Structure 1
Amino acid sequence: MPIVSQTLRHQHKGVTFEAFAAWDDASDAPRPIVLIAGTFMGRTAFEEDKARKLAAAGYVAVAIDLYGIENRPANFDEAGTAMAVLNDDRSLLRDRLRASLEVALGVDAPADPAKVAAIGFCFGGKCVLDLARSGADVAGVASFHGLYDAPPFANEAIKAKVLVLHGWNDPLDPPETVLALAKEMTDAGVDWQIHAYGHTVHGFTNPARETMYSPSADRRSWRSLIDFLEELFGPTG
């Protein structure tokens, strides 16, 4: 099962971005594309590892870049500054997400551009929810310990099914924000589900965050993702 990878560069509004794509090269059969939006640190080894893991599961995975190659954070302070730019301009974030989607659809891999989903972690969890809110033609989005505040722009008709994987004790998303997201998705007529993990905080999928990581929530949430993708696209094996 040889996992191959390539980088995908594109420009958007004068900024150069570089995504990371991975897939199993053992077969030429077209398979679904899964975008991966990263944490507030941007596209890192964490997201590339998730791309390889999805590639091994039978998908073409594309870890997208939302900051640009000249703006890659070197530390938490720089990451916070880069994220704040997009938090303060959700329309710019939406446009970068849509541009990244277009690039992923053109990946030089055995991919089926009619079958696309997106997942995201932390800030990336907010990003994939905004991608769905933009009316993007994706079958589903999955947010891992994301951020749920709605953007200031009006939602387009949401086409995606929505899976939210949430740590119940996440201080960034107290119960009222979870309920607000559920109401937002219900009012929009979305096929949605929220899985909450007890005694679990933010960043529960990342072993590098020792005080946050939850092996059980990490395992359960990934299993839920694979079930979700199989519901969207059928089995890949």
Structure 2
Amino acid sequence: MTTITTRTVEYPADGLTMIGHLALPAGAGPRPAVLLGPEGLGLNDFQRSLADGLAELGYVALAFDIHGGRYFTDPQEMLARALPLLADPDRMREIGQAALDVLRAEPRTDPDRIAAVGYGTGGAIALELGRAGVDLRAIGTINALTTGRPGEAARIRCPVWAGVGSEDLIMAAAQREAFAAEMQAAGVDWRLVVYGGALHAFHHPPVDHDTVPGVGHHPLHARRAWRDIVDLLAECLPVTA
């Protein structure tokens, strides 16, 4: 296994002190980088491990924070913070841009070769960065088929890949159709993969606390979705050194 290094990074956003997890690949010199956004519950060890996995593949990876260091084990507390955030594109962009600034400031990052990958709320933030016209090489989301303000998807300048479970009632068929229509009307290079039989947050291992209804782990599709994201990065953001 490739030796990587990790560290905690603190930075301000949304009136909070965010606590992100930065993972650096072995070697020296600039590398392509990935901004990694967590589910609505917040940043936890699972997302940190994904950032570490990306670093092992040769990427600089920042798993960014959305709740000022908090991880919500009470779904109602989570919804009370996440729903207003999801309804406010400018707040999402602020949170994403603050994390992106940290990632770009890292000396190992090639600032011209950055992708954004996110899950749930973190995926919505990745999409809003694209709709803001941020220069990204790729956007990948799971469980985040959020639509934006009219016309702003035309600012997206990179391929968009999205994954969702067929039985995800939070991102149900009508939401999938609205997302696809938005991407198509904007002329985006987009793909949508529907994983048969999977629920919301199917990619996330089981947790030991209450969650919102309709959440469930699907190990096989979780592995497939991760491979699909890695393939997206390999296509749009190859590691060449």
TM-score in terms of structure 2 length: 0.89
Is 1:200 matched with 2:190?
A: no
- Alpha-carbon deviation of 1:204? 0.9
**For the residues of structure 1 that align with 2:216 and 2:236, how far apart are their CA atoms?**
30
Deviation of residue 152 (structure 1)? Answer: 3.8
Match of 2:231 among 218, 227, 231: 227
Give matches, 1:46-57, under 5 Å.
46-57=46-57
Among 217, 221, 230, which residue is 1:217 paired with?
221
**Shift in Å, 1:89:** 2.2
Aligned pairs, number:
233
Between the aligned partners of 2:150 and 2:176, the Cα distance in structure 1 is: 20
Output one character per residue of 1:84-105: Cα deviation in whole Å (capped at 9) or x when no partner.
2312322111122112111111
**Any conservation in 1 of the 2:118–2:142 contact (CA below 8 Å)?**
yes
Counting only pairs closer than 5 Å after superposition, residues 18-167 of structure 1 correspond to structure 2 as: 18-25=19-26, 27-69=27-69, 72-108=71-107, 110-146=108-144, 148-152=145-149, 154-155=151-152, 157-167=155-165
Deviates more, 1:150-159 or 1:91-100: 150-159
Cα shift at 1:131: 1.6
Let me know the Cα RMSD of the aligned residues.
2.0
**Aligned in 2, Cα 1:208/1:157: closer, same or farther, shift over 3 Å?**
same
- 1:15 is aligned to 16
Distance (whole Å) between structure 2 residues aligned to residue 153 and residue 93 of structure 1: 17
* 1:150 partner SS: coil
- Identify which range, 162-171 or 206-215, moves more after superposition: 206-215
* Structure 2 residues without counterparts, runs of 5 or longer: 209-214
How many Å apart are 1:13 and its aligned residue?
A: 5.7
TM-score (norm 1): 0.90
From the superposition, tell whether residues 30 and 187 of structure 1 become closer, same or farther in structure 2 (CA, over 3 Å). Answer: same
Equivalent pair of 2:32/2:239 in contact (CA under 8 Å): no
Give yes or no for contact 1:73–1:82 (8 Å, CA) kept in 2: no
2:218 partner amino acid? S
CA distance in 2, matches of 1:199, 1:62: 31
Percent identical: 29
